Structure 1
Amino acid sequence: MYIIKVKGVAKIPDYVQLRDDKFTLLAYFRVDRPEKHLDKVGLGDKKDQIMGLVNELPFGQILKLEL
């Protein structure tokens, strides 16, 4: 699984993309509202771990996520 942090502009907030190994989009959510979307893809129990990585990840970089 891969994680990408996308920088928002003006009134558009910052977003996070979660993608599988084939780079198919699994989840797309605002950085400040991840709960519902992570629960929907079955990663609600790993929210703290994922959001810790998101907060440290620079915008535009792709990080391979090993869960």
Structure 2
Amino acid sequence: MYIIKVKGVAKIPDYVQLRDEQFTLLAYFRVDRPEKHLEKVGLGDKANYIMNIVKDLPFGKILKLEI
């Protein structure tokens, strides 16, 4: 699984993308509201782990997650 943090502009907030090994979009959610989107893809129990990574991840960098 891959994670990408996307910088918002003007009134558009920052977003996070979660993608699978084929780079298909699994989840797309605001940095400040991840809960229901992570639950929807079955990663609700990993929300704290994922959001700690997002906090330190630079915008536009793709990071491979081992979950």
User: TM-score under structure 1 normalisation?
Assistant: 1.00
Structure 2 match to 1:20 = 20
What amino acid is aligned across from residue 35 of structure 1 in structure 2? E
Deviation per CA, 1:6-45, whole angstroms, max 9, x where unpaired?
Answer: 0000000000000000000000000000000000000000
Structure 1 match to 2:54 = 54
Number of paired residues? 67
User: Structure 2: where are the runs of 5+ without partners?
Assistant: none
Structure 2 match to 1:8 = 8
Identical pairs, percent = 82
> Which aligned segments of 4 or more residues in structure 1 are displaced greater than 3 angstroms?
none
Cα distance in 1 for residues equivalent to 2:52 and 2:63: 13
